[in-house]
Amino acid sequence: MLRVGLTGGLATGKSFVGRTLESLGCHLIVADELGHQVLAPGGEAYAPVIQAFGPGVLAEDGTINRKKLAADVFDHPDRLALLSSLVHPHVIRREEEWMAKVAAEDPHGIAVVEAAILIETGSYRRFDKLILTVCEDWQQIERAVSRGGMTEEEARKRLQRQMPLSEKRKYADYVIDTSGSKESTVEQVRVVYHSLRSMK
């Protein structure tokens, strides 16, 4: 089985590319969804995060308010590092368990893990191949704002704190440029898929 990492900056089209790869026959898991699971009540990181950051991060229903938590760590690298240390190991373990399951069920399959910070954390080394999604800065900001939940200023700040896409390109085996039409992106994904499939 081929282990493939899919990453990119804010609003560069990772999810669209991931869904397209899945529609072509790849197996797909989204790290952000695993993050939701480990932070949910009963999840491995739920109690440790409340202990570390206090009950102020809880919503009225007892769940962790991810937006409040994100705001709490955004300008504090030490707090962000603490949060990552509480969440990421459990997310990675779940990814590994999932990939082992896929390998057992489909030995010649392609398992794709979509995650935002594969390169920054060094996690990209766990994969056979790495796909990077890119587009123009202004498109990232425009898309992030249009999705809701983020102002233009917040999007700009988030972008400034991320590793530049030009730097990420150095790590990627494949780069998919999503700045054009969806049809153009799909065509690039098809090319990457056939390349990956040829390795099996």
Q: Among 15-19, 41-45, 156-160, where is mean pLDDT lowest?
A: 156-160
pTM of whole model > 0.75? Answer: yes
Mean pLDDT of 9-28: 97
**What pLDDT, in 10s, does the model give residues 104-157?**
999 999 999 999 999 999 999 999 999 999 999 999 999 999 998 789 998 998
How distant is the alpha carbon of residue 83 from its chain centre? 16
**Structural domains of the chain, with CATH:** 1-26+109-200 (3.40.50.300), 31-106 (3.40.50.300)
Helices 77-105 & 66-74 angle (0-180, nearest 10):
130
Q: Over the Cα atoms of the chain, what is R_g? A: 17
